[in-house]
Amino acid sequence: MPPIVQTGRDLRLDLFRGLALWLIFVDHIPSNVVNWITIRNYGFSDAAEIFVFISGYTAAFVYGSAMQDRGFVVASARIFRRAWQVYVAHVFIFVIFMAEIYYLTKNLENPLYSEEMRAFDFLQQPGEALMQALMLRFQPNFMDVLPLYIVLLLVFPFTLWLLLRQPWLALTLSAALYTATQHFSWNLTSYPSGTWFFNPLAWQLIFVVGAWLGVGGATQFANVLRSRLVIGLALAYLLISLAVVMTWYFPRYVAYIPKGVQDWMYPIDKTNLDLLRFLHFMALAIVTVRFVPIDWPGLKSLWLRPMIMCGQHSLEIFCLGIFLSFLGHFITSEISRSVEMQILISVLGISAMIAVAWLITWYKGIEGRGPGAGPKPRQASDLAGGEA
């Protein structure tokens, strides 16, 4: 395995983004017994928060220094280039999706499912679906995260500009937009009906908080975040959240939660990034940062290298994960639905993700050593995660 590229960047970001990518893959295979181990079963937040937060943090880290060194225009150009890459990935996933749908409808004929068949009505106007997908408005299952990321990147030059000058103002504006979104139920519409599954007006909060920490908030607040009180509160919140989630599986314990608390708490909405989810993720992050310090020797161990590598090539590995989860669902529904098969598919899928991440690392390493490589700093950031 090639060594991990050292860029002075926090390897924990790559580690946990790699973990999030694995979890997203596993969660995306319906009826997968391995879903049981993923964090969404043990608290309010899930891999989506990890992914968006770390993306914000990394984007600020990478493009923040570019903006300071080379100015607004250059940094913006690079951010837009990244947005373009994500957009192309989105179109790629759409193509995979259409191929899967084609297969499904060919074999779905059964009067029992006449209702479910209507989910494919859009196929009667595939041109319309294509156009709407290009406009990010067609977001069938699993095609919902990248549109969020694209929108966040498109406005990021301005977000970052403000973050570098007035970090507190940027944070306040973000929180204000989040609050207004909750209050006025703002969201973008999607095709053929409904709204965005990941409401960008709400989810921007976790991205901006990540970015805010990435441009220096983390160092400023290191002492607060490591104080016993904060850690204690975070741990308490995680435990309470775990207890609440357990009542979802064991409904006889629901009675222990006072009715008033339930009315206030539910529903814990993912679309609008419910405050309870946000806080749960922040608590998780605070506890993780406390117990996995930046110089933790484990980060350099061979065992964690695969996860870090996956996190360093998040876009490629994310797309691969979506493709593999489609494939995995195909196998579990058509060939074997045994528990052993579900476990095998999850293991094989993650192995494939690691292999591809390794391949990309290896390839970029070769390219980077070759003549005519770009300016050093850019190469380094490229190597350490396809920029952001």
Partner 1 sequence: MRVVAGALLVSFACASVAPAGPADQCAVAAHLVHADAGMPNSVKAIDKTKTLKVVVVGSASSTLPGPAGIAIAYPSKFEMTLQKRLPGVNVQVVSVAKPRQTAQDMADGMLQILKEQNPALVVWQTGTVDAMRGVGAEAFQATLDTTVEKIQASGADVILMNMQFSPRTEAVIASTAYAEAIRYVALQRSVNLFDRQSIMRQWNELGTFDFLTPTKSLDTAALVHSCIGSMLADLVLEAVKSPDNKDSPKQ
Query: What are the residues binding partner 1 (CB under 8 A)?
Result: 28-33, 35-36, 40-41, 100-101, 104, 107-116, 118-120, 139-142, 187, 190, 192-195, 197, 248-249, 251, 254, 262, 266-267, 269-272, 325-326, 329, 333-334, 337-339
Residue ranges in 213-265 assigned as alpha helix (H): 218-220, 222-225, 228-249, 259-265
**Residue with smaller CB distance to partner 1, 183 or 369:** 183
Least distance (Å) between residue 176 CB and partner 1: 21
Residues 6+ apart with CB under 8 A from 169: 162
Nearer to partner 1, 11 or 143 (CB): 143
Dist. CA 60–CA 173, nearest whole Å: 17
Closer to partner 1 by CB, 110 or 223: give it: 110
Q: Phi and psi for 108 in degrees, rounded to 5? A: -90, -10
Tell me which H or E stretch contains 79: helix 47-106
Q: Which is nearer to partner 1, 112 or 229 (CB)?
A: 112
* Pick 61 or 198: Cβ nearer partner 1: 198
Closest by Cα among 217, 221, 278, 202 to 60? 217
* Closest distance to partner 1 from the beta carbon of 188 (Å): 12
Taking the C-alpha atoms of residue 378 and residue 69, their distance in angstroms, rounded to an integer, is 12
CA distance 388 to 373: 19
**Cβ atoms of 350 and 24 closer than 8 Å:** no
Provide the angle, in degrees to the nearest 10, between the axes of the packed helices 167-184 and 156-165. 130
Q: How far is the CB of 100 from partner 1 (least distance, A)?
A: 7
- Least distance from partner 1 to the Cβ atom of residue 89, Å: 19
- The rounded distance, in Å, linking the Cα atoms of 3 and 215 is 27
Q: Cβ of residue 181: shortest distance to partner 1, in angstroms?
A: 13
Q: What minimum distance in Å lies between the beta carbon of 338 and partner 1?
A: 7
Closer residue to partner 1 (CB): 162 or 268: 268
Question: What's the closest the beta carbon of residue 65 comes to partner 1, in angstroms?
Answer: 39
CB of residue 191 vs partner 1: minimum separation in angstroms?
9
Half-sphere exposure in the Cβ direction for 148 (13 Å, CA) = 28
The total of other beta-carbon atoms located within 10 Å of residue 203's CB is 28
Tokens of residue 170, six digits? 């940027």
Closest to 361 in 3D by CA, of 308, 321, 323, 319? 308
CA-based nearest residue to 79, from 156, 140, 26:
156
Q: Which residue lies nearer to partner 1 by CB, 189 or 223?
A: 189
Neighbours of 358 (CB within 10 A): 17
Kindly state the smallest distance separating residue 6's Cβ from partner 1, in Å. Answer: 39
The DSSP call for residue 15 is H
